[in-house]
Amino acid sequence: MKKYLLPLVFALLVSCRGNSQGKKAQKKIYKIIKTDAEWKSSLPALAYDVLRHAATERPYTGPLNDNKREGTYLCGGCKAPLYESQYKYDSKSGWPSFDRGIEENLEYDVDYKIGYPRSELKCNRCGSHLGHMFDDGPKKTTGQRHCINSAALTFIPKDEK
Ligand SMILES: [Zn+2]
């Protein structure tokens, strides 16, 4: 038993220190960390631009916009499950839209890119940009519209799980 004790104490010390630093730190530490060059070489060009540089794909161009199959939408960067097909709906915006996501894997941030604050949606595991959240979603359910780039997602059909 004794030999397990020391690493445990050490782990506690490190984690306490980690927490207190985390409160001061401005930048969030993600579970998946890659350099920009690593992201660039591991992603298709459009996915890289969207996920890592918050680009927006042109509406009605993404292959998942009209996708109606049952399944799960994963983060294109780290494969964390982000959206389930039963919450996808046709918002007529030209981008895949969901009235809710898998909360534990989503991060809400704010960007001012177009002059006023917008609620930015990011992957909580790798920090990749996904899209934006608006409050003009279906009133009968959540009222939320998670407006997500196709290029930011990887779709896994239910029957292929
Ligand atoms: Zn991710």
Residue 149 belongs to a domain with what CATH number? 2.170.150.20
pLDDT-based confidence at 10, cuts 50/70/90? low
Tell whether 30 is covered by a domain: no
138 has pLDDT over 50? yes
What is the mean predicted confidence (pLDDT) over 39-66?
98
Residue 13 lies in a domain: no
Asked if residue 12 is part of any domain, the answer here is no
CA of 79 to the centre of ligand 1 (A): 6
Place of tokens 């779709």: 155
C-alpha angle 72/74/76, rounded to 5°?
150
Report pLDDT for 161: 57
Domains in the chain, number: 1
pLDDT digits (tens, 9 = 90+) for 18-43: 444 444 546 789 999 999 999 999 99
- Of 135, 122, 96, give the one whose Cα is nearest residue 30: 122
Ligand 1 centroid from CA 122, angstroms: 8
pLDDT of residue 22: 42
Q: Give 106 Cα–ligand 1 centroid separation in angstroms.
A: 9
Q: Which range in 4-8, 95-99, 115-119 is most confidently predicted, on average pLDDT?
A: 95-99
pLDDT at position 140 over 90 = yes
Residue 16: pLDDT above 50? no
CA of 127 to the centre of ligand 1 (A): 6
Question: Which H or E run includes 115?
Answer: none
Question: For 64-108, how does the pLDDT look when each residue is reduced to its tens digit (9 = 90+)?
Answer: 999 999 999 999 999 999 999 999 999 999 999 999 999 999 999
Percent of the chain with pLDDT over 70: 83
Of 155, 152, 157, 156, the residue nearest 76 (C-alpha): 152
128 alpha carbon to ligand 1 midpoint, in Å?
Answer: 6
78 labelled catalytic = no
What radius of gyration, in Å, describes the C-alpha atoms of the chain?
Answer: 18
Task: Copy the structure tokens of residue 116.
Answer: 């006023």
Q: What distance in angstroms lies between residue 159's CA and the mean position of ligand 1's atoms? A: 23
Catalytic residue among 75, 78, 126, 147: 147
Residue 134 lies in a domain: yes
What pLDDT is recorded for position 41? 98
Q: Is-contact 99 117, C-beta < 8 A? A: no
CB atoms within 10 A of CB 109: 14
Domain that holds residue 57: 36-67+74-160
Nearest CA-CA partner of 102 in 85, 119, 126: 85
Ligand 1 is an ion; its neighbours by CB within 5 Å are 75, 77-78, 80, 123, 125-126, 128
The mean predicted confidence, pLDDT, of the chain is 89
- Let me know if residue 28 belongs to a domain: no
Residue 133 placed within a domain: yes
